[in-house]
């Protein structure tokens, strides 16, 4: 018998997150995922009169494909994937993974090639701006291990996070969106961090179950050349199969001019992916009340209540600052007291301190008011 929580999640994904309707074409991509959720998603797609398309992938097979891939192969894959994505109205990406480090021995130049050609053309240029999409992780033993929980405890945690009342969160985000869209100067102060930039006239986008599950962020983008200062991220980040820790970036007029981490050389390689990789494409505040500590999975970590992420690489079309890159690397800094605290100022007014919003009109986004 299918877990009732899976049925609720599938219904939310189809009916709320991508809002599929009659005759919509819905592409479901599943990476290392057990079948019950995919079956329930298919049922719900048919229920609304839409048409499901399903691709099932294995990260082990993906590793094998990439190990010997050349530009000719990646370009050929991209041609067919673009044609399919262009024909879709909705996209649901369900990402499992039995080993977070499965791609760790794929040569960096192969990963960069795939990201630059396939990832950018299929996802950044088509899926993100032109479909109604949602991406989520799916619980398994590997994710439970990353979180430091038993499988049963993690599944309970996962469904409590994913089946949150996102419509309430969406309403509570409106005052923050309004304030952000009236703001010019932003300053972030935390351990190893004193960073300033402008978001003048940039849109702020609410993410409350429409793009990711779990969700809980509101994002914009800094004006491309406005970023100055230093930021030190206190949350580990897995990228290219490696676990980066204590990433420090120094900015001058928008560009990363210095960087350091536990993998210095690899960090520089990533930031040299292309010209846009050394500029920032996203600034976001995380507000999910059920996520309070990192677990090594960015779809969870970037939503941590009291966090920010400040993202080297490509911007989104709906918060467009002109920065184009094959890279989009969400790096997270947590401001709650357990992680050293931090302050965010909008036009010299303190907005959030130690992870809690201080303005009365924003306090509805504090964790105790969203559960």
Which helix (H) or strand (E) is 31 found in, with range?
strand 25-31
DSSP code, position 313: B
Which helix (H) or strand (E) is 349 found in, with range?
strand 349-353
Q: Taking a C-beta distance cutoff of 8 angstroms, is the pair 131, 53 a contact? A: no
CA 11 – CA 170 distance, rounded (Å): 18
For residue 209, which of 134, 279, 277, 283 has the smallest C-alpha distance? Answer: 134
For residue 15, which of 49, 38, 39 has the smallest C-alpha distance? Answer: 49
DSSP code, position 357: E
Which helix (H) or strand (E) is 251 found in, with range?
strand 248-252
- Residue 77 confidence (pLDDT): 97
- Residue 53 confidence (pLDDT): 98
CA 284 – CA 286 distance, rounded (Å): 7
**How far does Cα 223 stand from its chain's mean position?**
20
How far is CA 31 from each of CA 27, 35, 40, rounded to the nearest angstrom? 13, 11, 16
Give the HSE-up count for residue 198: Cα atoms under 13 Å, Cβ half-sphere.
10
CA 108 – CA 47 distance, rounded (Å): 43
- Residue 1 confidence (pLDDT): 60
- Residue 141 confidence (pLDDT): 81
CA 226 – CA 218 distance, rounded (Å): 20
Could you report the per-residue pLDDT of 179-224, keeping only the tens digit for each?
Answer: 999 999 999 999 999 999 999 999 999 999 888 888 999 999 999 9
Q: For the CA atoms of 95, 20, 304, 313, what is the dihedral angle to 10 degrees?
A: 70
- Low-confidence stretches of the chain (pLDDT < 50) are none
CB atoms under 10 Å from CB of 339, counted, come to 21
Tell me the three state secondary structure of residue 117.
helix
Residue written as tokens 């994002």? Answer: 219
- Residue 2 confidence (pLDDT): 74
- Residue 160 confidence (pLDDT): 87
**How far does Cα 284 stand from its chain's mean position?**
10
For the chain, the domains span: 4-162, 166-369
**Six-digit token string for 6:** 């899976």
- Residue 102 confidence (pLDDT): 87
For residue 290, which of 164, 177, 201, 108 has the smallest C-alpha distance? Answer: 164
**Six-digit token string for 76:** 């050929």
CB atoms under 10 Å from CB of 315, counted, come to 26
Could you report the per-residue pLDDT of 244-283, keeping only the tens digit for each?
Answer: 999 999 999 999 999 999 999 999 999 999 999 999 999 9
Largest interatomic CA distance in the chain: 57
Instruction: Specify the fold of 4-162.
Output: Thermophilic metalloprotease-like (3.40.1830)
**Ramachandran area for residue 347 (φ above 0: left; ψ -120 to 50: alpha; else beta):** left
Tell me the three state secondary structure of residue 37.
helix
């Amino acid at each position: 018998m299918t877990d009732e929580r899976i049925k609720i999640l599938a219904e939310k994904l189809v009916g709320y997150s991508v809002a599929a309707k009659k005759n919509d074409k819905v592409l479901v991509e599943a990476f290392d995922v057990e079948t019950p959720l995919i079956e329930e998603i298919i049922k719900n797609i048919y229920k609304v009169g839409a048409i499901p398309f399903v691709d099932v992938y294995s990260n082990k097979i993906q590793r094998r494909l990439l190990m010997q891939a050349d530009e000719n192969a990646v370009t050929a894959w991209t041609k067919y994937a673009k044609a399919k994505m262009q024909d879709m109205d909705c996209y649901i990406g369900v990402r499992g993974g039995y080993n977070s480090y499965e791609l760790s021995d794929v040569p960096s130049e192969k990963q960069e090639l795939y990201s630059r050609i396939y990832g950018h053309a299929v996802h950044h240029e088509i899926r993100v701006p032109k479909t109604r999409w949602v991406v989520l992780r799916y619980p398994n033993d590997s994710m439970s291990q990353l979180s430091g929980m038993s499988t049963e405890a993690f599944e309970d945690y996962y469904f409590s996070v994913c089946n949150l009342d996102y419509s309430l969160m969406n309403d509570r985000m409106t005052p923050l969106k309004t304030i952000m869209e009236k703001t010019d100067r932003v300053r972030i102060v935390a351990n190893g961090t004193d960073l300033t930039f402008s978001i003048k006239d940039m849109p702020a986008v609410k993410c409350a179950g429409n793009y990711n599950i779990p969700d809980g962020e509101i994002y914009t983008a800094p004006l491309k050349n406005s970023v100055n200062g230093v930021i030190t991220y206190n949350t580990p980040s897995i990228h290219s199969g490696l676990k980066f820790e204590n990433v420090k970036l120094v900015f001058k007029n928008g560009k990363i001019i210095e960087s350091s981490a536990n993998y210095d050389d690899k960090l520089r390689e990533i930031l040299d992916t292309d010209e846009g990789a050394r500029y920032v494409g996203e600034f976001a505040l995380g507000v999910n009340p059920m996520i309070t500590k990192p677990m090594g999975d960015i779809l969870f970590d970037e939503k941590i209540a009291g966090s920010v992420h400040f993202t080297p690489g490509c911007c989104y079309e709906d918060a467009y600052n002109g920065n184009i890159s094959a890279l989009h690397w969400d790096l997270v800094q947590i401001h709650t007291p357990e992680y050293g605290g931090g302050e965010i100022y909008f036009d010299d007014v303190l907005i959030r301190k130690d992870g809690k919003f201080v303005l009365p009109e924003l306090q509805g986004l504090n964790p105790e008011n969203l559960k």
